[in-house]
Amino acid sequence: MKKVGIYYGSSTGTTDDIAQKIASKLGVGKADVHDVSKLKADEAIGYDVLVLGSSTWGDGDLQDDWYDGVETLRGLDLSGKVIALFGCGDSQSYSDTFCDAIGVLYEDLQGTGATFVGAVPTDGYDYSDSKAVVDGKFVGLAIDEVNESDKTDERVDAWVEVVKSAL
């Protein structure tokens, strides 16, 4: 089994909660689930799979702790590594920037050599625009705990199966 590390940025605790759910479903131990504010290059490079999560803030921005984290990851050669993305957003109040943060992570980490997995169809989501949509799919798991918390467990379960099948 490939070594999986989960890094998340969470201001209100929602993305942390989702990271913990994903870790449980993937069988990832607590020692391999990290707040991105503590990301260290030598630790991150030791993982075969990086599961990265961010909430979306402001006008489609990354969660604050991700700015240094992205710079650290961009400086690494992640060739041969796999990245799976997940994010939290509010599809009603911020319909035009829904889960943009995972789109930003995707764009920022394109040059690292990593392979991205875990794209999710946009069916069943109600939003107007998102940087996270590429070729008609979200580049990762999009979660709306504000308006669609009843769909979270089903979405996490389906996404984890997609990610597992890609590993």
pLDDT-derived band at 58 (thresholds 50, 70, 90) equals confident
**String of DSSP letters for 92-138:** TTTGGGTTHHHHHHHHHTGGG-PEEE--EE-TT---S--TTEETTEE
User: What pLDDT score does 118 carry?
Assistant: 97
The yes-or-no verdict on residue 1 having pLDDT over 90 is: no
pLDDT in tens, 84-140: 999 999 999 999 999 999 999 999 999 999 999 999 999 999 999 999 999 999 999
Cα(101)–Cα(99) distance, rounded to whole angstroms? Answer: 5
Average the pLDDT over 4-11 and give the result.
Answer: 96
Give 60-77 pLDDT, tens digit per residue.
Answer: 999 999 999 999 999 999
What percent of the chain stands above pLDDT 70? Answer: 99
Mean pLDDT over all residues of the chain?
Answer: 96
More reliable by pLDDT, 78 or 59: 78
Amino acid letter for position 21? K
Is-contact 116 166, C-beta < 8 A? no
State residue 121's pLDDT score. Answer: 96
Quick one: pLDDT band at residue 56, thresholds 50, 70, 90? Answer: very high
Q: Does domain 4-166 have CATH number 3.90.1150.10?
A: no
